[in-house]
Chain A
Amino acid sequence: MVGMKKDDAYRTRLFTRRTALLAGGQLALFGGLIARMYYLQVIESDRYKMLADDNRISLRLLPPPRGRILDRYGEQIAINQLNYRVVVIPEQTGSMPATLDAISEIVPITDFERRRIMREVARKRKFLPVIVKENLSWDEVSRVAVNAPDLPGVMIDVGSSRFYPTGERVAHVIGYVAPPSEADLTGDPLLELPDFRIGRNGVERIYDLALRGRAGSSQIEVNALGRPIRELARQEGQPGADLVLTLDLNLQTFAAERLAKEESAAAVLMDVLTGEVLVLASSPSFDPNEFNKGISGATWRELIGNDRSPLTDKAIGGQYAPGSTFKPVVAMAALENGVVTPEFRVSCPGHYELGNAKFHCWKKGGHGSVDMVDAIKGSCDVYFYEVARRVGIDRIAEMAKRFGLGHTLGVDLPGERAGLIPTRAWKMATTGVAWQTGENLVAGIGQGYVLATPLQLAVMCARIANGGYAVMPRLARDRIEGSQLGQRPAETFPAMGISQNNLAVVARGMRGVVNDPRGTAFRARIMDPSMAMAGKSGTSQVRRITEEERRNGLRKPEQIPWKERDNALFIAFAPVDNPRYACAVIVEHGIGGSAVAAPIVRDILVQAQKRERENLPPAQHYAAAPTPPRTTETR
């Protein structure tokens, strides 16, 4: 018992010693844990705080509303329309197919759409809304809203979509917007938003960046499943800037409707002093709203397959032989180079012989003896054959370029084409064949290689009208003006260094074209002398007329297939005494420049001047401010 007690005492001491050891070890371990905690919570805390924020904060972009596009008076050309759509949050519905069935009784859902919806439902996380149908009518919206209480997970959502109230009238100028393609993605997350649209054509494309604005952002706290919990911070973006165009929507509409009577045509009306383009129309047109919604395959194929090429802006992208509308340039080349004087006369028997070749005048009997003014007035081909032969192509080309032909003019639109003004060197380089004298003659009446766009012809006409200043066309305006026209004087453009006397000769000829009974377009004259215009008609062959055809007698135009008929052109400026407007019209295969194109020009010019007089206060002066920056260089 004593031994036992002794043993017990020793055992107790051993226990106490070992307990102390153990306690020491335990406390040391706790100390280690505290040290670890200190490391995580104090030393490395910032890093983990950042990681925690990365976990929970999701940055959402708030797409900025796209800037509107307005005409010079503030009329709306492109606006953002509320787009009402039905969305479904799959997790809130009892059954997705049943919900779709219920919705389809209110708004029709095609099988195709149904497959797309179900695909999206399968792909997306269940609490993210899926768009069932867009662009609902107000009627449909209210029907869905009324039924919504019985349809859990179904709701009306409001997005924003581009809308062009005057769609077809301005289609080629505004272009359209579309979802960005892979190639457009620059890394800007804005572009990856499902609803985002970028300008695809027209000014929508050229001024895309300015119209886009800057995205705002919203910091949203999300949980581990990505479900939004609350908004932590919000940074408002900047809405896209409104774009004011130089167009006059009223005139544009008038011109577009006037052109729509023809098969295929284009018109440009510009201010000869400021270069502001008031009308830029191409017909037939298309509805750009179709593109915004996502164009259907059938509509697309129809647009592409149409031989009147509705998608091409013929005013800037159509290249035509200018025909006789080119003659003022030839005249200027001859006068400026001193090759002929205004009094130089040529006798026109109806044809012109050069070596073995015979060149015909449009007037079978000939014009008789004509001087420069008469030749322009009557559009005498023989006179210009002779003049062109004397001047030679290179000097004609040099003058044509000064008047804005043969190169792009930098108007704020994509798809502008350069036309073509041939030179000897150009022909040698392109075809390897030397320039022939006879080709001077052909070029002298704006045929052969010579090509120009309606915009170029309008600019050429404007440069004649404004006294020889190299006015440049433009579509973007600085701001909306209550006044009629900007007062930027032509002097802000460089003078072309052309004799006013020579210009006056050509202008006199052009005045005679419409106002002299012997003029080619006398029937299209403007009766009100204060509005009177001066112009030049042109009828350019699309294909060569063979000698055989000429001998057998020319066919009646109606017998020729549409595609082979002559193009009808007319350029004019008005009013004659103090020119303000220059206009160019082409009617593709319209046959007669003076008969078909001239009346259209007349109507547009009359409308423009009427509008100026009747509705608007006198012009106010304004200082030119810089135009908005361009998005892309078009060339």
Chain B
Amino acid sequence: MTILLQGFEGPLFDWSWVRSHLTSEIIPALVGHVYLSFVSVAIALVISLPTGVLVARYRKAYAPVTLVTGVLYTIPSLALFAILVVVPGVGVGPKAVIIALVAYSLLVLIRNVVAGIDSVPPETIDAARGMGLTEGQILLKVELPLALPVIIAGIRIATVTVIGIATIGAYIAGGGLGALIFDGIDRSFPTMVITGAILATALAVATDLLLLGIEHYFRPWARAAGRRG
């Protein structure tokens, strides 16, 4: 490609750079990005599942929990990173990025756990109780499995959000695909910027579609209804 651009020397996209940096820079950045996003959503899920179950039982806690997580969700990521790096014991690096990504996931995950449990019909729970299931069994064998598609929908939204915000984490040395974007901007080298941006977009869209597929898989009744319908 030989398109020349204002402010840049050389071509818009230099394939030879991609070929020569594929294993040394591009793939490690992609793997790092996946790892950062996965760890963050996993930690957020460990927090949100019990919180969501508790909040579904004690309704009074729902408003304060969504207010706090909602405010966290609204804070622009660069601002949250800036606040986190000055917290003693955090500093720049993947730790601050993971804390921020966990914070951003909480609202969506908790809200969907609660909505998922709410979606279970009361008659189903009555039937389970009538069959002699204990409260714990009802939660694990009836409520959570039936809530699963809604919970997975939450995981999907949280993961896609986290993949997007993780790119900004590279600014505070979190690594991942954002590092290609920021290095490319610093060096006025569009190839790196485009590679990082396209891969981050592709990763987010592919993850979205993959989790959407999984969500449908865990909705067997919807599939059955679809066949019948």
Note whether A and B form a binding pair.
Answer: no
- The residues of B with any CB-CB pair to A shorter than 8 Å are none
